[in-house]
Amino acid sequence: MDHVSSLAGTTLSRRPMIVGIGGTTKPDSTSEKALRACMAMVAKSGAETRIFGATDLDLPMYRYEAGERSGAVAHLVESLRQCTGVIISAPAYHGSIPGLIKNALDYVEDLSGDARPYLDGRPVACIVSAAGVQAMGTTLVSLRMIIHSLRGWPTPFGAVINAQTAPFDAGGECTDEDVRKQLKIVAKQVCAFISA
């Protein structure tokens, strides 16, 4: 079997596709920088990556009864249909995730009739950032509850980032060793659960 490069001892036996969802309406937010840094780590393990950041998540409000999806929504839904894993990076908005990300995740309902419905059988990793530590725990729990509702498998480790410490530079490089370690664990666990 053909093997690709490994991430800290995690070797993938096929080329998986990981979808990254995250950010805020403000491009280059801490949550989007964290997502991009983590997805870069996953890509080094040989996975194909697709990132849906701030501008990609400016989607129409989800409507169950809507007809055929087009444009950005169709691209998101089809990417989620094809993926083998997901990484979600959400800021904390009043103790939970923002509507921007919740709206994107609501479109997973379009996969309900698939042979592999919703996010069934896929690991979903969580990254949460907040301007201070108080909201990080509740936001992480909220995100994991949503993932469970969508039949995804939340990975055991969830990264939490205090945005007040400015852990990324203007170019998106992580300058905080603790944050880098957390993102590496997130990337490693997504790869490990795919290859298990």
Rounded CA gap, 187 and 190, in Å? 5
Q: Two tokens at 87?
A: 């990484």
Range of the domain at 123: 18-59+68-195
Is 92 within a domain? yes
* Any domain includes 10: no
Predicted pLDDT of residue 54: 85
Phi, psi angle pair for 21, to nearest 5°: -125, 125
* Assigned domain for 83 exists: yes
pTM for the predicted model, two decimal places: 0.91
Note down pLDDT in tens along the chain; length 196 residues: 233 344 544 444 468 999 999 988 887 899 999 999 999 999 999 999 999 998 899 999 999 887 788 899 999 999 999 999 999 999 999 889 999 999 999 999 999 999 999 999 999 999 999 998 888 999 999 999 999 999 999 999 999 999 999 999 999 999 999 999 999 999 999 999 885 5
CA distance 192 to 10: 6
Distance of CA 71 to the CA centre of its chain: 21
Which pLDDT score, from 0 to 100, does residue 196 have? 52
According to the model, what pLDDT value does residue 195 have?
A: 56
Residue 12 maps to a domain? no
Distance, in Å, from the CA atom of 106 to the CA atom of 86, rounded to the nearest integer, reads 15
User: What Cα–Cα distance (Å) separates residue 131 from each residue in 29, 97, 143, 145, 154?
Assistant: 11, 13, 17, 22, 24
Measured CA to CA, the distance from residue 150 to residue 191 in angstroms comes to 20
Q: Are residues 119 and 152 in contact, defined by beta-carbon separation less than 8 angstroms?
A: yes
Say what the pLDDT of residue 95 is. Answer: 87
pLDDT at 168: 96
Q: Is residue 33 part of a domain?
A: yes
Indicate the number of domains in the chain.
1
Q: What is the CATH number of the domain that holds 91?
A: 3.40.50.360
In a domain, 2, yes or no: no
Alpha carbons within 13 A on the beta-carbon side of 132: 5
Q: Is 11 contained in some domain?
A: no
Q: What is the structure's pLDDT at 96?
A: 93
Q: Return the pLDDT at 8.
A: 43
Residue 13 domain-assigned? no
